[in-house]
Structure 1
Amino acid sequence: MSDVLVTENIQGASMIELMKDLDVEFDAYLWQNVNLLKQKLADAQALIVRNQTKVNQELIDAAPNLKIIARAGAGLDNVDTAYAKEKGIVVSYTPDANSLSVAELTLGLMLALLRKIPDARQDTLTGGWNRVKFTGTELNGKTLGLIGMGRIGTLTATRARAFGMKIIAADPYLAADAPHLKELNGKLVSLDELLAQADVITCHSPLTPDTRGMLTYQHFSKMKPTACFINTSRGEVVDERGLTQALLEHKLAGAALDVREMEPPHQSALNQLENVILTPHIAAFTLEAQERVVDAVCEDVRLVLSGKPAVNVFQS
């Protein structure tokens, strides 16, 4: 049995160095075999995961020697942080390492939707040259509504301002006079106001019991019929049936989803809609972001196993 167990595809120079220096077992698909994973956890002191490994009470109980759970990413909805704390296990994560990459993909999806880039590409590849058919919409002068304005939302808004967009945000934890909102000439509004006013809505909400399924058909029906919705946060915050129904009824003009209610998702009506862009949870997958993430988790594992405090500790 190994001291460090890596249960998903987490690669990089820091991981290679970690494997040279410590007893590391790397199995990118181990998360799929829970029984085998529990067996291998019997002697493990460190567990490194992404978002597929469900580090629940059962898994933690199978690891009596575990000192650290290192999550290569920002969200901790797949880790029972309360139980880990009760067991004296450090939970480390990387909340800021991939923020810029997520913000950039959000802008990319925004441009792809409003300028109809995927459809124009596909039509051209099949011999078309239909310029008028793919007449798009500018970002300049449009209102961006951000559901959640933490670090990723702020980075997205900053870049949207460079395109000449107006900024509004709905966030229960944000003060109306928050400095970063004022710097962007942004305005704090209610969710209903945001849905009614925004031309583009981007979701940057963490997954919590309060946010699970929070965006329903009723919410999407309040959007402008010319508006678009983009989600690069967590798929479970969106009721996909409700979104699909709203799209079919032309309550909104289009949607782009990098995250889904179930990952990988089943085939659904969303796959058949021409005004929907679907990507496989790639927001954090840039070379730069992954290097930062892997560096951070490997460093925290090294620190904890050498008896020192981790840097990126989750504080519940």
Structure 2
Amino acid sequence: MTYHVLVPDNVHASAVDVLKAAGDALAYTARGQITRDELLAEVANADALVIRSAHKIDKPVLDAAQNLKVIARAGVGVDNVDLVAATEKGVIVMNTPDGNTVSTAEHTLGLMLALARHIPQSHISMNEGKWDRKSYGGIELRGKTLGLVGFGRIGRAVAKRALAFDMTVVTYDPYISAEQAAAAGAAQVTLDELFAQSDFISLHALLTDETRDLVNKETIAKMKPGVRIVDAARGALINEADLAEGLRSGQIAGAALDVYAQEPPDPNNPLIHLPNVVHTPHLAASTEDAQIVVAVEAAQLVVDALLTGNYKNVVNPAALGK
């Protein structure tokens, strides 16, 4: 039997090398990012999908995928996959949680530094022919408190790098113990304590019903005045209108954002033109190093699942019994 693997996104070519190495047991279609209509048509013959974040694998796609057995996400977040519908159909969804860790952690520190030292704004000023040293005085990271909301792989990698900058690190994560936090150099606190203590807050939580709009008008009021907020996790963790209000009022000194509730953001998004916001277009995992790692891992997950029945990094384990 030959299984068919569809790669509807721009996944690194190294994924194809892994699929090709499986020989005649696998056929694949991987011509780069395709349209939604093309996906709906071509998924009908697919036994597996290797995806990034461009496509929503929702119920209509899953209904069209009569032969689909597995989905491998080249990356961590699977909020673009309808896990309930996938589980109901017995489609096993897997991710690659390790591959993006270093790239995302480094990008987070880059955003913090850009925010603290006004690097993008001063670059623009120089490009405009100005020599303005007075408008862009910054702050050091040394001696500041960094609050990490979520202390998984990426949160811990950020903590390790922040400690090298002589920052104090506190974290809120209901799924780890105080001992686990301490082993990574962080103090475990409540969410309200984190808001009150932190000079910088960096978000690393998964997007769930409980974490959606985690940063909102009420929680912003609990934060230390002049706090700086960084988000390289999921845009919907932040209520963007409330964040904009906090930035305009001065309660929040600045924000650095790599992700948005809608991507690309609407031109009328209230955060886009604020002078105290640093923006990047969802680049945290976009290093060649990370893309090779997650592409290879995702393709190997598919090969192992289809050819040997071995599953790893399953995010909807209830589907395994169907």
Normalising to structure 2: TM-score of the pair? 0.91
What aligned pairs does 1:132-211 form with structure 2 within 5 A after superposition?
Answer: 132-178=134-180, 181-211=181-211
- 2:69 equivalent to 1:67: yes
Deviates more, 1:245-254 or 1:206-215: 206-215
In the alignment, the residues of structure 2 paired with residue 302 and residue 173 of structure 1 have an alpha-carbon distance, to the nearest angstrom, of: 32
Q: Percent identity?
A: 41
Distance 1:205 1:150 in 2: 8
Separation in 2 of the partners of 1:269 and 1:214?
A: 18
Q: Is the 8 A contact 2:170 2:186 kept in 1?
A: yes
> Counterpart amino acid of 1:52?
A
Q: Which residue of 1 aligns with 2:32?
A: 28
* 1:19-47: CA deviation from partner (whole Å, max 9, x where unpaired): 574422224332x42x4322211111111
Aligned to 1:286: 287
Q: What 5-or-longer segments of structure 2 have no aligned partner?
A: 318-322
In the alignment, which residue of structure 1 is the partner of 2:320? none
The structural deviation recorded for 1:184 is 4.2
How far 1:315 sits from its partner (Å)? Answer: 4.9
CA-atom RMSD in angstroms: 1.9
Q: Is the 8 A contact 2:92 2:316 kept in 1?
A: no
Q: Report which stretch shifted further, 11-20 or 61-70.
A: 11-20
Instruction: Count residues in correspondence.
Output: 312
Q: Tell me the distance in 1 between the aligned counterparts of 2:155 and 2:18.
A: 34
The 1-side partners of 2:45 and 2:272 are apart by 44
Tell whether 2:249 aligns with 1:226. Answer: no
**Runs (4+) of structure 1 moved beyond 6 Å?**
none
The 5 A counterparts of 1:1-316 are 3-18=4-19, 21=23, 22-30=26-34, 32-33=35-36, 35-178=37-180, 181-267=181-267, 268-316=269-317
Q: CA deviation at 1:68?
A: 1.2
Q: Structure 1: 5+ residue runs without aligned partners?
A: none
SS at match of 2:259: coil
Q: 1:55-75: per-residue Cα shift (whole Å, max 9, x none)? A: 223322211211211111101
* One-letter identity of the residue aligned with 1:304: A
1:196-215: CA deviation from partner (whole Å, max 9, x where unpaired): 11010000010112111222
Whole-angstrom CA distance in 2 between matches of 1:176 and 1:311 = 28
Deviation at 1:273, TM superposition (A): 0.9
Closer/same/farther in 2, CA of residues 44 and 315 from structure 1, 3 Å limit: closer
Whichever residue aligns with residue 23 of structure 1, its letter is A
- Give the counterpart letter for 1:160 in structure 2: A
Q: Aligned equivalents of 2:90 and 2:222: distance in 1?
A: 46
Q: 8 Å contact 1:221–1:252 — kept in the other structure?
A: no
* TM superposition score normalised by structure 1: 0.92
Which stretch shows the higher mean deviation, 79-88 or 36-45?
Answer: 79-88
- Aligned mates of 1:92, 1:4 — CA distance in 2: 15
In the alignment, is the contact (CA less than 8 A) between 2:160 and 2:185 conserved in 1?
no
Q: Structure 2 counterpart of 1:80, which letter?
A: D
Paired residues of 1:43 and 1:65 also in contact (CA < 8 A): yes
Deviations 1:49-90, CA, capped at 9 Å, x for gaps: 112322223322211211211111101111123432333322
Tell me the distance in 2 between the aligned counterparts of 1:17 and 1:157: 34
SS of residue paired to 2:135? helix
Bigger Cα displacement from structure 2, 84-93 vs 135-144: 84-93
Q: Distance in 2 between matches of 1:42 and 1:183?
A: 48
Tell me, in whole angstroms, the C-alpha distance in 2 between the residues paired with 1:26 and 1:304.
19
> 1:120 is aligned with what amino acid?
S
CA contact (8 A) 1:72 1:93 kept: yes
Question: What is the identity, as a one-letter code, of the residue corresponding to 1:313?
Answer: V
